[in-house]
């Protein structure tokens, strides 16, 4: 099966719910990488020991939506 853009497809007499679902899936497939590019990133956390000065640096991946929980 070839995924074409939603605009190319005609409802062809099919029920709205089927056509809408198809259009939404196509939209998500086109935009998934954009969402990841925009909202996913890395959080740098640095821990410095106040006795010996040892520095620990960590990078944790995060998604934008996960930050909502901390508000
Ligand atoms: Zn230390």
Q: What is the pLDDT along the chain (71 residues), one digit of tens a residue?
A: 455 444 556 788 888 888 888 888 887 777 777 666 677 677 788 899 999 999 888 887 777 655 555 55
Distance 58 CA to ligand 1 centre (A): 16
pTM over 0.75: no
Q: Is residue 20 part of a domain?
A: yes
Q: Is residue 27 part of a domain?
A: yes
Q: Which residues surround ligand 1, an ion (CB under 5 A)?
A: 49, 51-52, 54
Distance 55 CA to ligand 1 centre (A): 8
Q: Is residue 3 part of a domain?
A: no
**Residue with token string 């901390």:** 70
Q: Is residue 1 part of a domain?
A: no
35: number of Cβ within 10 Å: 13
Domain span including residue 49: 13-70
Distance 13 CA to ligand 1 centre (A): 70
Distance 64 CA to ligand 1 centre (A): 33
Number of domains in the chain: 1
How high is the pLDDT of residue 37? 67
Q: Is residue 47 part of a domain?
A: yes
């Amino acid at each position: 099966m070839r995924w074409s853009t939603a605009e190319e497809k005609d409802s062809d007499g099919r029920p709205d719910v089927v056509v809408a679902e198809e259009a939404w899936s196509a939209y998500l497939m086109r935009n998934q990488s954009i969402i990841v590019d925009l909202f996913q990133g890395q959080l740098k956390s640095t821990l410095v020991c106040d006795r010996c000065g040892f520095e620990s640096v960590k990078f944790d991946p995060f998604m934008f939506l996960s930050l909502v929980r901390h508000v």
